[in-house]
Amino acid sequence: MGDQKLRRELMNLSGMKELIRKSLEARKFAYCPYSKFRVGAALLTHDGTVFTGCNVENACFNLGICAERTAISKAVSEGCRDFKAIAIASDMCEHFISPCGGCRQFMREFGANWDVYLSKPDGSYVEMTVEELLPASFGPEDLKMKKVNIRNEF
């Protein structure tokens, strides 16, 4: 964990603002006829590519997908997994949008020490890491332990 923290590269201010602008832009494509709660995301990879996403709801309510997961799935399905930052935008002026628990775990799959910008429509934001949003997390490394001998468990 310590090593990962050292490797974290901070982004410059104009880069952050541009990513937030793209998440605000992506929010416009939100398909949210049920909640009417638009969310946009813009995901930056280490090679500089940006994948955007919006929430996509469904008449079968529990099938809806969040903006963050849309963006991450777009990136992974195009061969990109090396994430630097994700910006998230909604229409809430009073609060910074904050990702749901499922999206935090989805982000965590691809590392704990990359940046998440929680924004407001005026472009203001707070910066957090995936680790800060999901402390003491369970990740892919935890599955790499030795297989237990199930017969010895009783």
Ligand X SMILES: O=c1ccn([C@H]2C[C@H](O)[C@@H](CO)O2)c(=O)[nH]1
Binding site for ligand X (CB under 6 A): 32, 35, 37, 39, 55, 57, 64, 66-68, 88, 97, 99-100, 103
Q: Is 80 annotated as a binding residue?
A: no
Paired with 52 in beta bridges are 42
- Judged by beta carbon, residue 66 or residue 75, the one nearer Zn ion is 66
Q: In the bound complex, what is the minimum distance in angstroms from residue 63's beta carbon to ligand X?
A: 10
What is the number of other CB atoms lying within 10 angstroms of the CB of residue 96? 16
96 versus 137: smaller Cβ distance to ligand X: 96
d(CA 37, CA 29): 12
The single-letter code of the amino acid at 24 is L
103 belongs to an annotated ligand binding site: yes
Choose the one of Zn ion, ligand X, none that binds residue 67, judging by a C-beta under 5 to 8 angstroms depending on kind. Answer: ligand X
DSSP 33: T
CA angle 94, 95, 96 (to 5 degrees): 135
CA–CA distance, 137 with 146 (Å, rounded to integer): 19
Residue 135, classed as helix, strand or coil, is: coil
Q: Which of 9, 18, 57, 68 is catalytic?
A: 68
Task: Please confirm, yes or no, whether 68 is among the known catalytic residues.
Answer: yes
Q: What is the DSSP letter of 31?
A: B
Residue 10 or residue 100: which is nearer to ligand X going by CB? 100
The catalytic residue positions are 68
Residues near Zn ion, by CB under 5 A: 66, 100, 103
Q: Which residues are annotated as a binding site for Zn(2+)?
A: 66, 100, 103
